[in-house]
Amino acid sequence: MAFQKAVKGTVLVGGGALATVLGLSQFAHYRRKQVSLAYVEAAECLTEPVNREPPSREAQLMTLQNTSEFDILVIGGGATGSGCALDAVTRGLKTALIERDDFASGTSSRSTKLIHGGVRYLQKAIMNLDVEQYRMVKEALHERANLLEIAPHLSHPLPIMLPVYKWWQLPYYWVGIKMYDLVAGSNCLKSSYVLSKSRALEHFPMLQKDKLVGAIVYYDGQHNDARMNLAIALTAARYGAATANYMEVTSLLKKTDPVTGKERVSGARCKDVLTGQEFDVKAKCVINATGPFTDSVRKMDDDHAPVICQPSAGVHIVMPGYYSPESMGLLDPATSDGRVIFFLPWQKMTIAGTTDSATEITHHPIPSEEDINFILNEVRNYLSCDVEVRRGDVLAAWSGIRPLVTDPNSADTQSISRNHVVEVSESGLITIAGGKWTTYRSMAEDAVNAAIKVHNLKAGPCRTVGLFLQGGKDWSPTLYIRLVQDYGLESEVAQHLAATYGDKAFEVAKMASVTGKRWPVVGVRLVSEFPYIEAEVKYGIKEYACTAVDMISRRTRLAFLNVQAAEEALPKIVEIMGRELNWSEAKRQEELEIATRFLYYEMGSKSRSEQFTDHTEISLMPSDIDRYTKRFHKFDADEKGFITIVDVQRVLESINVQVDENALHEMLREVDLNKNGQVELNEFLQLMSAVQKGRVSGSRLAILMKTAEENLDRRVPIPVDRSCGGL
């Protein structure tokens, strides 16, 4: 076991050297404790992680069980909790991190995907002369710059356009945005600028033209939030933190302080959610970083603890990429009810959101149809009338719960500050609450500083500023080219791997399956329209993925991009995970059902499916009904009153079109409302009515039947006399 300690700028490695410096008695003390962390005294002396790869989950559980006492136990594996673990372990503290679900399974994977200082918070700071809000923005802008530096593969600057429709607003917004640049100072990503109407439409051609006078463009950061959270947790594990997901805290441990006679928190009783095994994890200090569930842990410590968090629900929707330019976002600074809406390109799709409304705390937040329609209506106000904003184009939707710190003087959640607070209970429980994604690192620093002070822990200064997260150190914008050249991956897949795993992308490429094609040589996709490959499922298990939901929502982002594509990929994902993890057939079926339920309720599939049900009204013009009925009868040649897969295959064969039989079954199932294996005329007319109203889009059966009809109509027979009598 290697120990590291900085002495006058020199790093000494190895037991013998350390014994010489510290003395035999101190060295024996460290040996008895069996510390497996890197001990450093100065930030500039922080060396490579102690683990080249994060230890397996089984190895981490063994460490949790067999360690007599940790310095710090962090509860919560979101951005802040993972940040606390990384901060503590890099200071030389023996650290443990446990999460009840998966890393980033809560709010940290359901954000707007922005790394930002908060333009609206700066506006409130100036308008209300609020120094605290100003400091929060200043801090967030510093953290924005740091996050873009330490995880360049997962984050990038993004220009965001603020369209202006009244002349007097142009100088008003211009001053506000310039103040944003000035507050950022040396951390300003790029200087903001003004665009004329014509230039604004060049950059954002789908923008509403009427009354547009110009636009202002400023810069913030954007990232892959779940993957960023995972990178923080994996980095902490590599530096020596005992890190485990699916570990639930059932109660806090306490012991009496011999000096004061008071009870002090001394660890937690933990339960492995996957196996049911329970054991104690002892620690000198416990940090509560559980986001919306902050108060539930605080009440484990003290039943009478007052509530300090007020949860707020933020709903986002994902739409096709053609709704926005590839590299320009949009900010609606004043919606119909005063909230702010972002309209952003992300992962070649478009994200729109967010709402901000009081909510109940739940493990499974569900996006409401009301919130989805609110966002769609706001989007319609800013896009050209040439662009039809359809409900059927919502490919995914989710709700995240923000753990806002309660302001007793505020009447609604919109005026609550996003500042964070560090609370120390009488028994020594450290709670970090509030804040936002961008400031996770500074929140962690404040929490660990408090832990060191209150519990008299021996540790060095914070070292997380400039500390590369996993995958970031050797990443470069051209790394993907090496993946294409060395492994024969598609360029799109290679770019995706480089942007997701950074310099670890080569390890994923090594695991990629041979396609059997001339090109690409390796990299079998999970679904055709997304660059996720089967090898990522195997690699995801190394990244502590334990369930199919982990894979579709956080190791890959399929569930957040397109719920139908995620559902299509599920059987293959379950098959691969089942093979790698030795799942029984019953376990595989259970995983498939749980993941399908997750997509249905939490990722907007339910809201999407409800747009077309057996109660859908047929509101078509008589001419449309006649046209669609004729189309239906071209498939129902026997006039049965319904069509089956055999009817569709017959028509397709007549026009020399081949479609996979499984795909045809899927197409019919989408339309077969009464699930009798047949599509009746009434069901088809209901579908076309829903398509016409924009409630359903991209119906494969509707598009296929239209295309087939057009091909049939074009097949006009050539008269015999025109062909010389057939001779």
Residue 597's domain is classified under what CATH number?
1.10.8.870
Q: Which domain holds residue 636?
A: 622-714
CB 275 within 8 A of CB 507: no
Alpha carbons 230 and 183: distance in angstroms, whole number = 30
| Domain-embedded: residue 138 | no
Copy the structure tokens of residue 523.
């990299």
Query: Residue 651: its pLDDT value, please?
Result: 81
Rg (CA), the chain: 29
Report CA dihedral (517, 518, 519, 521) to the nearest 10 degrees.
70
Q: What are phi and psi of 581, to 5 degrees?
A: -105, 5
Q: What is the CATH number of the domain that holds 337?
A: 3.30.9.10
Q: Which of left, alpha, beta for 245 (phi over 0: left; psi -120 to 50: alpha)?
A: beta
* Ramachandran region, residue 373 (left: φ > 0; alpha: ψ -120 to 50; beta: rest): alpha
- Residue 35 covered by a domain: no
Last residue of a domain, one of 584, 610, 636: 610
Sequence-distant (≥ 6) Cβ neighbours of residue 168 within 8 angstroms: none
Same domain, 530 and 661: no
- Is 461 domain-assigned? no
Q: Are residues 261 and 332 in the same domain?
A: no
Confidence (pTM): 0.85
- Among the listed residues 220, 117, 224, 111, the one whose alpha carbon sits nearest the alpha carbon of residue 162: 220
Rounded to an integer, what distance in angstroms lies between the CA atom of residue 187 and that of residue 43?
21
| Three-state DSSP class for residue 160 | strand
CA proximity to 530, closest of 505, 578, 567: 567
Q: How does DSSP classify residue 346?
A: E
> Phi then psi for 217, rounded to 5 degrees?
-115, 130
Classify residue 460: in a domain, yes or no: no
Judgement on whether residues 573 and 491 belong to the same structural domain of the protein: yes
Identify whether residues 210 and 341 lie together within a single domain: yes
Q: Do residue 194 and residue 269 come from a single domain?
A: no
Q: Do 504 and 596 share a structural domain?
A: yes
Q: Cα dihedral angle (243, 245, 247, 252), rounded to 10 degrees?
A: 50
Closest CA to 294 of 80, 494, 498, 552: 80
Dihedral (CA of 695, 696, 702, 706) sign: positive
Structure tokens at 171: 């100088």
Cα dist from 60 to 53, 185, 463, 543, whole Å: 12, 42, 23, 12
Please count the other Cβ atoms lying within 10 Å of the Cβ belonging to residue 692: 15
Q: What is the pLDDT of residue 665?
A: 78
Of 711, 718, 575, residue with least CA distance to 634: 711
Instruction: Give dist(CA 4, CA 275) in Å, integer.
Output: 36
> Which residue numbers in the chain have pLDDT < 50?
1-43, 407-410, 413-415, 722-723, 725-727
Closest CA to 90 of 500, 441, 434, 438: 441
Give the CA count within 13 Å in the CB-facing half-sphere of 313: 20
Q: Give residues with Cβ within 8 angstroms of 540, minimum separation 6.
A: 550, 551, 555, 556
Q: Considering only CA atoms, which of 462, 85, 50, 430 is closest in space to residue 244? A: 85
Residue 522 and residue 588 in one domain: yes
Instruction: Please state whether the peptide bond connecting residue 616 to the residue before it is cis, i.e. omega within 30 degrees of 0.
Output: no
Handedness of CA 554, 555, 559, 560 (dihedral sign): positive
Assign residue 268 the CATH number of its domain: 3.50.50.60
What sign does the dihedral 619-622-625-631 (CA atoms) show?
negative
Q: Is residue 616, in this structure, part of any structural domain at all? A: no
Share of the chain above pLDDT 90, in %: 63
Q: Decide which of 360, 384, 403 is a domain's last residue.
A: 403
Both tokens of residue 366? 């569900």
Residue 484 φ/ψ region, left for φ over 0, alpha for ψ in the -120 to 50 degree band, beta for the rest: alpha
DSSP codes of every residue in 9-75: TEEEESHHHHHHHH-HHHHHHHHHHT--S---SSGGG--S-S-SSPPPHHHHHHHHHH-S-EEEEEE
Domain contains 141:
no
User: Which CATH number belongs to the domain containing residue 629 in this structure?
Assistant: 1.10.238.10
Q: In the listed set 570, 586, 610, which residue is the last one of a domain according to the structure?
A: 610
Residues 490 and 600 in one domain: yes
One domain, residues 290 and 439: yes
Q: Are residues 668 and 709 in the same domain?
A: yes
DSSP string for 494-557: HHHHHHHHGGGHHHHHHTPPB-SSSSSSB--BSSTTS--BTHHHHHHHHTT--SHHHIIIIIS-
675 in a domain, yes or no?
yes
Same domain (yes/no): 189, 269: no
Domain assignment of residue 214, yes or no: yes
Determine if the peptide bond prior to 258 is cis (ω within 30°).
Answer: no
* Residue 571: count of CB within 10 angstroms of its CB: 12
Percent pLDDT > 70 in the chain is 89
Name residue 725's beta-bridge partners. none
How many domains are contained in the chain? 4
Closest CA relative to residue 478, chosen from 505, 459, 452: 505
Q: Determine the residue type at 434.
A: G
539 and 504 both lie in a single domain: yes
